[in-house]
Chains A and B, each alone.
Chain A
Amino acid sequence: MSWRLTLKIHRWQPGDRAPYYDHFTVEVPEEAYVLDAIEKVWAEQDRSLAFRHACHHASCGSCGLRVNGREKLPCITPVTDYPNGSTIQIDPLRHFPLVRDLVVDMGPFSQAMEAVRFSIIRHASEGVPDARSSEPPILPEEDHEATRFENCLECGLCVSACPIAGSALNYLGPAALAAAERMLVEPRGVDPLAVWEAIDHDDGLWRCHGAFECSAACPSEVDPAAAIMRLRRYGPKVGQVARQQRR
């Protein structure tokens, strides 16, 4: 069966006074994802449409946007999440500089991730986490050197969903704070004090108001809100210890 959606897509290019919406109706197989529908609009109806995408399976984190106001990775959002024949509104992420249409600039976000020195490769010593399984993760002894990618895709959905990120322009944001927690747990050669100092300020760890929107938006099991709450509990102590060690 095929699925018919009307995409109401946010349009804006440099020089435009205000953004506006274009409507495109597409028919895709019911197994398709929202990203397939957007790509089809580009391929068949409007080649000027600009959107970000690369991996199509929630690994690169590039395609983040908002569908009906909710942060989504359209590559893993089935079209059947929306009624056949309905209209869905597609907007770019909030709190990012807009480049064009659905494309945002990842510069400031990436700077925050750099500030906490986030390394995307971690040890897999805790084994392979699998949310769906109750079995303990198993890693054979010889796998003590095993590595794997961090869960965070650097997609920015959490930042877009965060109510603070909109009003506090210099706020590090949930992704960077969650990343900092990972770096403190497993420093991978990075100086923990530098990580702590990057977040221990009014635009960092102490800015969050605990709205938990970030964790609701995260497509990759990072749960930034929980990481922030943990950091607030043990972070100052880690900072203190690191400071003493440096002396």
Chain B
Amino acid sequence: MGGGGPHVVVVGAGSTGAAIAHDLALRGFAVTVVERGEVGSGTTGRNHGLLHSGARYAVTDPVAARECIEENLILRKIMPEGLELNGGYFIALTPEDMDFRQTFLEGCEAAGIPTRELTKEQLLRMEPRLSPKILGGVMVPDGVFEPYRFCLSFLASAQARGARVLTYHEVEGVLVEGGRTRGVQVRDRIRGRELTITADAVVNAAGPWAAKVAATAGCRVPLILAPGVMIAVGVRYSHRVVNRLAPPGDGDIIVPQRFTSMIGTTSWTVQDADLIPIPPDHVERMMDAGEAFFPGFRRQPKRGVFAVARPLVGPEEDQAEGEGFERAVTRDFACKHHEAEGAAGLFSVTGGKTTTSRLMAEAVVDQVGRWLGFERPCQTRTEVLLPPRRFFTERVVS
């Protein structure tokens, strides 16, 4: 297994865990990924599939905006088989949206996001199904990924370098002895048995469940669970991604993919991410928002309605609650080493975006490597990933 380096267990095979596994394997660590369900069955699989250009955050969160555009450009090179790269628009529906345009363009410029202004007429020619009521817009280098295959690509590449990926294996506890993390206690959900996996370090990338995993070692992960509702309809309304030219809000992104369009999203907070009931009024709001861009949207038969929780980095104090509040929290990510809490070698990663998962992985593996005294340069910026299907064709099962 692996390149002879220390053994690291990664908990969770969402985009964060998958990217971390790949980075670790590429730097010569021995890697075991433990995922309680299918790859991407947490937040990642059910996300919007938007390869952010960063423009969405250009005004509200310049750091996230810059990270997005940098990662967007890297992913284009390392994931040639997994992206629809047709760009996206920010479209004004109201005069206020048009007023926001200048601020938006300045934000994009500061973050290094290329833009192109488009008139109403140009937009309607390029996207004939847009509402004739639109006022104008800006084009940006957004793209579309498939969340599941995004994860599979990273995992296939990790596997090719010896990583073991145990799906349907649930971490029941992080094992700590004398202030040091020794491994994980795992339930093999396929065979219905328990096993212990020893490790030199454990990276907790369990997304919205990261706090639960850390709690088994008596550690705390400040986390806000902020779900969003998404709806797919069986018509592709546009060639490119459509965003509202306004500060981030509800139902302001429509991602086309194959012959469908997906609108999202809303935001509220929950305590438990296992089963998130869908608020009916959120569905109505999304369909109305879609109608504003594309007349007829509301009447389309739905092809999936779902909600998952963003694992946002929370305040160190008690979790705050309520609607509206979460969108102000930075989209940045955090990697917490639980050494001071008596679990040296346990690292919890939260926040970020699928678009920035490679970058998060780089930062996490730098930190883990430093602590383990196994420092190798990160190589994920240029290493071309394997196609997603290779995860299944070259599977090494326990």
**Real binding pair:** yes
Which chain B residues lie closer than 8 Å to A120 at the CB level?
A: 81-82, 149, 387-388
Complex-state Cα separation, A31 to B229, whole angstroms: 14
Of B46, B257, B259, most buried by chain A (CB within 10 Å of CB) is B259
| Pair A140/B125 contact, Cβ less than 8 Å | yes
Question: Which of B234, B239, B305, B393 is close to A139, meaning CB atoms less than 8 Å apart?
Answer: B239
Instruction: From B232, B260, B392, give the contact of A107 (CB < 8 A).
Output: B392
* Segment 275-321 of B: residues with Cβ below 8 Å from A: 275, 277-278, 280, 283, 303-306
The answer, yes or no, to whether A106 is at the interface (CB within 8 Å) is yes
Kindly state whether residue A138 has any CB partner on chain B within 8 Å. Answer: yes
CB–CB A110/B393 < 8 A: yes
Does B83 make an interface contact (CB < 8 A)? yes
- Point out the residues of chain B lying under 8 angstroms from A62, CB to CB: 38, 40, 45, 148
A247 interface residue (CB < 8 Å to B): no
A146 to B235, CA, bound (A): 18
- List which A38-62 residues lie within 8 A (CB) of chain B: 39-40, 43-44, 48, 50-60, 62
B111 CB → nearest A CB, Å: 24
**CA of A120 to CA of B304, assembled, Å:** 22
Given contacts A57-B230, A60-B148, A131-B259, contact A147 B84 (CB under 8 A): yes
Given A58-B303, A100-B189, A111 contacting B259 (CB threshold 8 A): no
Of listed A15, A44, A107, A149, residue having the most chain B CB within 10 A: A149
Q: From A14, A138, A139, give the contact of B191 (CB < 8 A).
A: A14
Q: For B41, list chain A residues within 8 Å (CB).
A: 52-54
> How many residues of B are counted as interface, with CB atoms below 8 angstroms from the partner's CB atoms?
58
CA distance A107 to B391 in the complex (A): 9
Contact of A53 with B45 in the complex, beta carbons under 8 Å: yes
Interface residues of A in 100-151 (CB under 8 A from B): 100, 103, 105-107, 109-111, 113-114, 118-121, 124, 128-133, 135, 138-140, 143, 146-151
Q: Min CB distance, A17 to chain B, in Å? A: 15
- Report if A103-B168 is in contact (Cβ < 8 Å); known contacts: A54-B40, A56-B45, A151-B259: yes
B271 interface residue per 8 A CB criterion: no
Known A-B contacts A131-B259, A140-B126; A76 and B304 likewise in contact (beta carbons under 8 Å): yes
Q: With an 8 A cutoff between CB atoms, is A193 at the interface? A: no
B168 to chain A: closest CB distance in Å? 6
Is B236 interfacial (CB-CB < 8 Å)? yes
Q: Is A13 an interface residue, CB under 8 A from the partner?
A: yes
Known: A60-B45, A121-B82. A130 touches B190 (CB 8 A): no
Q: Is B147 part of the contact surface with A, judged by Cβ < 8 Å?
A: yes
Question: How far, in whole Å, are A15 and B230 apart by their CA atoms in the complex?
Answer: 40
**Are B86 and A143 in contact, CB atoms less than 8 angstroms apart?**
yes
B155 shortest CB reach to chain A, Å: 13
- Answer whether residue A91 sits at the interface, using C-beta atoms and an 8 A cutoff: no
Tell me the smallest distance from the CB of A132 to a CB of chain B, in Å: 6
**Nearest chain A CB to B103's CB is how many angstroms away?**
27
Q: Is A181 an interface residue (CB 8 A)?
A: no
B77 within 8 A of A: no
| B128, A138: Cβ atoms closer than 8 Å | yes
Query: A220's closest neighbor in chain B, by CB?
Result: B258
What is the bound-complex CA distance between A62 and B46, given in angstroms? Answer: 12
Is A164 part of the contact surface with B, judged by Cβ < 8 Å? Answer: no
Shortest A140–chain B CB gap in Å is: 5
Write the nearest CB–CB distance from B315 to chain A, whole angstroms.
28
Cα–Cα distance between A150 and B304 once the two chains are bound (Å): 19
Does B85 reach chain A (CB closer than 8 Å)? yes
The answer to whether the Cβ of B376 comes within 8 Å of any Cβ in the partner chain is no
From known contacts A56-B306, A76-B304, A107-B392, infer whether A43 and B275 are also in contact, taking CB-CB under 8 Å. yes
Q: Is A221 an interface residue (CB 8 A)?
A: yes
Which residues of B are at the interface with A, using a C-beta cutoff of 8 A?
Answer: 37-41, 44-46, 49, 80-86, 125-126, 128, 144, 146-149, 168, 189-192, 230, 232, 234-236, 239, 256-260, 262, 274-275, 277-278, 280, 283, 303-306, 387-390, 392-393, 395
Identify 24 residue pairs between A and B in the complex whose beta-carbon atoms are under 8 Å apart, listed by A's number: A29-B280, A31-B278, A31-B305, A33-B305, A52-B38, A54-B38, A54-B40, A54-B147, A57-B260, A59-B49, A60-B45, A62-B45, A103-B38, A110-B390, A114-B390, A119-B81, A121-B83, A124-B239, A128-B256, A130-B236, A130-B259, A146-B86, A147-B86, A149-B84
* Additional A-B contact list (5), CB under 8 Å, known A33-B305, A143-B126, A148-B84: A54-B46, A59-B148, A60-B147, A140-B125, A147-B83
- Top 3 nearest A-B pairs by Cβ distance? A57-B304, A54-B45, A60-B148
